[in-house]
Structure 1
Amino acid sequence: MFLEIPSVQALDCTPIIETSSAWVTVDQESGSVKEFSILDKPEAATEAWAHSFVTHRDDSMTFFNMDYFNMTVSYGAVFLTSLLHASSLNWNEGLLGLDLPWVEDLNDQAFTFRDTDHGLNLDIMTYAMYALAGKDSQALLNASTMEATAQKTFTTFFQHFVSSNVSFGTGGSWAYQPINATLPPCLAYNRTSSACAEQPSVWPLSHTNSTVDVQISRRVSLLRMNKVAVWLSVGILAWLIATTVVVAATMNRHLKGLKGDVERVADVLLMVAGSDKLLRLLKERGERKLAEEEVMTKLGWFEDRDGQLRWGIEVVEGENESEDD
């Protein structure tokens, strides 16, 4: 009973299932699809609706004696029926024990969303559309919004329907079958004889190749830089390398005679403490006169008065020394 005339929106929808070859990128560890591209033009998968709960039984069997019969159903019919009838898995039985599908079982909580505060009583597909619309029931009164949410819901549920539990051994999920599997030629045997009660059918045999082309790649971290920044960095590095080489060569040339670090005055005194010739000239001529005469000295190994080799600063053997001698 409604106090006001309720608003209603309805669409006449025909589900479409299509197939096509695709290039898929899959995460090797989790198995999730990262990206994909459709290679061919999608074609309608007519096999998805070929059999809609078709029974195969002996014609001599009565309506109430159907305890032995086979049924064929395509995966499209299974999916659509399961999606639309998920909220009515249990049916109330009347006084005569007959099923009454038009009577709702309020105790059935499977795939049913009831909210008395907001007046909601939705099946799983309708609730999914309701959630996609931001839980705004007024938004679903728009035909375009209702169509978009219905397509999104149908597509999402179907993707899970066909991709769950897929394996090469059993076929997996509800849409795939093992490679080269087929149905038996006769699905309705006569109970009183071994003859086939219907015309034997030749079911198509799938010749799907069990191998596929796979390219395995691993993601790596890649640093991308601007070309100007790269060449500027290379130029700076080249300049630093060249400067280092020049400085090292210069220091090696001028300081190769050093046998240790000269950091204090005491280090210099040690280098001249055993330089007898230099100290004698300094004592005889004085520091200023000796500097004016430009007496040549060297840093290296020399022999002191005791005949011991000593490393330090000493007067170069030459003219100045000859005059003093």
Structure 2
Amino acid sequence: MKEFGYQRALDVPGAVALLGADPDARFLGGGTNLVDLMKTGVERPSQLVDVRQLPLDGIESTGDGGLSIGATVTNSDLAAHPEVRRRYPALAQAVLAGASGQLRNMATVGGNLLQRTRCGYFTDATTPCNKRVPGSGCPAVEGEHHNHAILGASAHCAAVHPSDMGVALAAFDATVTYETAGGPGELPLAEFYLPVGDTPHLETALPQGALVTGVTLPPAPVAAHSRYRKVRERASYAFAIGSVAAALDVRDGTVHEARLALGAVASRPWRALAAERVLTGAAADAETFAAAADAELAAARPLPQNEYKVTLMRNLIVAVLVELAEEAGR
């Protein structure tokens, strides 16, 4: 591991200034991803700016009925918060599915959004990777890619984003807030992650040196009837091979409103807008749900080893929506 400096930020402007003075520095939250990458040589910061003590650890209701979540809120506190569990149950379920209790106690909301892919080629500094070394190639396309992207990938990168929390946030139209030397800003989560294209090393639209300060969830009554379902290769904590965050508002057997986002299928949490269009105004039955899944997955371009994900995601979408519809009918 490369030698690095360490400073603890005392306030948000001070944290931003410290990073602005050293472009090779990195913000340190829980360190559950960054420290691992430092150990393998993938990340080599000159210094760490510890932001855990900043006053960004609150969860508060907004004036319009949404929620404001600070960037240093731990995943454990997020999942346990009564308003999160009541208003956005899929978000609490996603966080609980994401990691063991020990990791949730350390990991932060901001760090979760900014975590890097777990693609084996990216995490192995001895192999080429366009995310790590732009222009070096993507060996996953011809190599091992059974858990890689089926949507939105390119010839330059087929990695998937590992966040469970991000999938639920995508379904509920979250907005990411941040601070720069020039002042505060915000980005809808739909614009926060950049398309892969031919620049997979550019992962977010955050300005250089920006500090994520929180996430805002707008009011969404439909979110109270939501669920997160994750498929993984072992029963204990593991990254998803496919996941769904879904919410349904069913009235008189018809879908009045639907929210759907998919995980482990793309380089970012994937909002299933095509599926939502099929669902809205249609009968809340398995036939509709299958048609919605097919509409979304029509754009899938799987690689030879991950074709199974198309079938897996179709079945998963239908199963979760059927469960939500049945609950609405009780």
When normalised by structure 2's length, the TM-score is 0.20
Instruction: State the structure with bigger RCO (CA 8 A, min sep 6), 1 or 2.
Output: 2
Name whichever structure is richer in strand by fraction.
2
